Amino acid sequence: MKCGDYHEEEEELSDRNMSTISRHVFGDNLEQPAFSVSIIENMKEEYGLFLWPCSVILAEYVWQQRERFAGVPVVELGAGTSLPGLTAAALGSDVTLTDDSNRVEVLENIRTVCELNKLECKVLGLTWGVWDEFVFSLKPKIILGADVLYEASAFDDLFATVTFLLQNSPGSVFITTYHNRSGHHLIEFLMVKWGLRCARLLDGFSFMPSCKASGLSGNIQLAEIVLNSEHSEETTTIAR
Ligand SMILES: C[S@@+](CC[C@H](N)C(=O)[O-])C[C@H]1O[C@@H](n2cnc3c(N)ncnc32)[C@H](O)[C@@H]1O
């Protein structure tokens, strides 16, 4: 497999209208990848059944930060096709994949994609800002969210859930990738409002292998967000 082929193996599934499977490889040498994750997408359906560039970037970051993921509990919010969470599962994390509890077909697709990859993850309907009982038992060390900051009306609900999870699991971190459409100001405003701070801020393309980056576009940033009250060695960094 050549580097540029990293998600070339797209096939149409005959029994699912417009569904395709793409294979995403991870490794220091993409010609001999350490592992791959297959993703099912459906172009006709809604947001959660399409693999967004933010997800490819977050999954690559998970791979590059793999020492942090082995054996730790991870929750992915708004997982959709779930590439970052499945990458964490392949690295040995104890992963819970979540998406809006009202989007049954998205949750069904997540279960199918776990089976396809033979990865055991919990799959739960978790709607941001809704406090179902199981939410109180989630204690992730790492919370993932790719392209979950896209609809301003949902930002407070998302941050309410993120802040709760960070408080419920001291020392945890929210790692998110998002399109920087209106500058970082809105995220900064929300962080101040919810008592959070950015421990690390990266240009999403700064760590991408060129062959993976070439298929993606947009001004995408990656932020690691923690509780403002928690001490950390890291200071905010912007790499370009
Ligand atoms: C733009 S898609 C990103 C999907 C996936 N993370 C990716 O990057 O490919 C946004 C995701 O957030 C989920 N979502 C939207 N509103 C939500 C809410 N209120 N609660 C939970 N999930 C939500 C959608 O179902 C969808 O899967």
Quick one: pLDDT at residue 2? 46
Per-residue pLDDT of the chain (240 residues), as tens digits, is: 444 345 544 555 544 457 899 999 999 998 899 999 999 988 766 666 888 999 999 999 999 999 999 999 999 999 999 999 999 999 999 999 999 999 999 999 999 999 999 999 999 999 999 999 999 999 999 999 999 998 889 999 999 999 999 999 999 999 999 998 766 778 889 999 999 999 999 999 999 999 899 889 889 999 999 999 986 655 445 444
d(CA 113, CA 86): 9
For the CA of 53, the closest atom of ligand 1 is 8
d(CA 233, CA 238): 16
Nearest to 209 by CA among 26, 7, 1: 26
Residues 55 and 63 sit within 8 Å (Cβ to Cβ):
no
Residue spans of the domains in the chain: they are 19-228
Nearest to 156 by CA among 193, 120, 183: 193
Residues 23 and 36 sit within 8 Å (Cβ to Cβ):
yes
Quick one: pLDDT at residue 178? 95
Q: Could you tell me which residues are beta bridge partners of residue 36?
A: 25
Given the candidates 3.40.50.150, 3.40.50.1470, 3.30.450.40, 1.10.150.20, the CATH classification of the domain at 19-228 is 3.40.50.150
CA of 76 to the centre of ligand 1 (A): 10
Residues 175 and 148 sit within 8 Å (Cβ to Cβ):
no
Name the residue with the closest Cα to ligand 1, atom 17: 100
d(CA 154, CA 36): 32
Quick one: pLDDT at residue 47? 67
Region class of 147: left (phi > 0), else alpha (psi between -120 and 50), else beta: left
Quick one: pLDDT at residue 31? 86
CA of 191 to the centre of ligand 1 (A): 20
Strands (E), the chain: 11-12, 19-26, 35-42, 73-76, 94-99, 122-125, 142-146, 173-179, 196-203, 220-227, 238-239
CA of 30 to the centre of ligand 1 (A): 29
SS3 74: strand
